[in-house]
Amino acid sequence: MEKKQAVQELVDAHANLRDEEMATAIWIRQGDTPVWLVEVLPGFTDDDRAEEPTVMAAGKSFKFDLYLIAANEKSLRAAIQRDTALAKWIVEGQVVFNSEKGKELQGLAEQCLEAAAVRHV
Amino acid sequence: MSDIKRADAFLRQANADQAASLASGIPEFVARYLLQQACEKALKAFGYAKYTGRPGDGAQIDAYFFNRHDPIAKISSAEVLPNGVHLLRRELARFLAEFPERVALERIDATTPSTNMNAVSYRYPFMVDGAWTTPEEFTGWTPYQGGLGQVRTATKKLLARVHDEVSLVKRR
């Protein structure tokens, strides 16, 4: 199965889980062999290290190692603001669930990168 | 990455428990106890193979999953979970959603040791309708845990699925 299709199926499965609202999902670092996903999960508690991924090994239903950055929106926004690498990956990423919220986060990440660039001038 | 050697050891013991449950002449309560043990260890093998929490998440994941006799029930029933444990619950839910014997497996998972004297036990005497009975004397195993054939089937299929998952991780 093509990687892009596998990612979309995984995200759709996450979006359809019982009792688990997902606000958006962004596929980042698309050129990497493992799959890197950012998912915004409103049910998550605040997390001051949201940029650290949790790793799921590849399996029968998803054949790629998954590096998952999952957080509520507040924690993810804070992570984007303090981690320029994450901001860059999000800007370059592909929104794969709920494009409106995903693009809003990409806009925030872009602003953070611009602000960081100004600081370095 | 995942703790694949530990996963493999848990799966080996799950297989040993299942094999022991098939020995001829053993009482039903012993067979059922061994099958519950096989399921519990297989689920933990799945967790060890698939999941790597972030540094610092280990104690919480142990408390909600790996140190439990009823890992599905515990992780599914908690309303608020630490984020790392939450992701393991989601991964487990996705795995179980594709498992045709999910309901049977959840019943087996829930039939774990209890200190409640009114709770059915595989190992200790307990109270039924105000009278002490023993696992050996108890006749209500099917309403309690499901038919023995159904329990055997669910366990066998779970072990096969987890074997596949562990094998995939081992090959990487």
Q: Which domains does chain B have, with CATH numbers?
A: 4-170 (1.20.120.330)
Enclosing domain of residue A18: 3-120
> What CATH number is given to the structural domain containing A50?
3.30.460.10
How many domains does chain A contain in total? 1
Give A-chain residues touching B80 at CB under 8 angstroms.
45
Q: Give the model confidence (pLDDT) of B132-163 as tens digits.
A: 999 999 999 999 989 999 999 999 999 999 99
Question: How many CB atoms within 10 Å of residue A67?
Answer: 19
Among the ranges given (A22-31, A47-56, B5-14), the one the predictor scored with the smallest mean pLDDT: A47-56
The pLDDT of residue A1: 62
Judge whether A33 is closer than 8 Å to chain B, CB to CB.
Answer: no
pLDDT in tens, B1-57: 578 999 999 999 999 999 999 999 999 999 999 999 999 999 999 999 988 878 778
A108 touches chain B (CB under 8 A): no
Q: What is the DSSP string of chain A?
A: --HHHHHHHHHHHHHTSTT----EEEEE-TTSSSEEEEEE-TTSPP-TTTTSPEEE---SS--S-EEEEEE-HHHHHHHHHH-HHHHHHHHHSEEEE-HHHHHHHHHHHHHHHHHHHHHH-
Q: What is the ipTM of this complex?
A: 0.78
Residue A121's pLDDT band, with cuts at 50, 70 and 90, is low
Distance between CA B32 and CA B40 in Å, rounded? Answer: 12
- Cβ-contact A35, A28 below 8 angstroms: no
Q: What is the pLDDT of residues B81-106, one digit of tens each?
A: 788 888 888 888 888 888 889 999 99
Alpha carbons B125 and B120: distance in angstroms, whole number: 8
**How far apart are the CA of A120 and the nearest CA of chain B, in angstroms?**
32
CB within 8 A of A25, min separation 6: which ones?
A11, A14, A15, A37, A38, A39, A40, A95, A96, A97, A98, A102
Chain B residue numbers touching A71 (CB-CB < 8 A): 83
Distance, in Å, from the CA atom of B15 to the CA atom of B9, rounded to the nearest integer, reads 10
Q: Is B1 an 8 Å CB contact of chain A?
A: yes
Reported pTM: 0.87
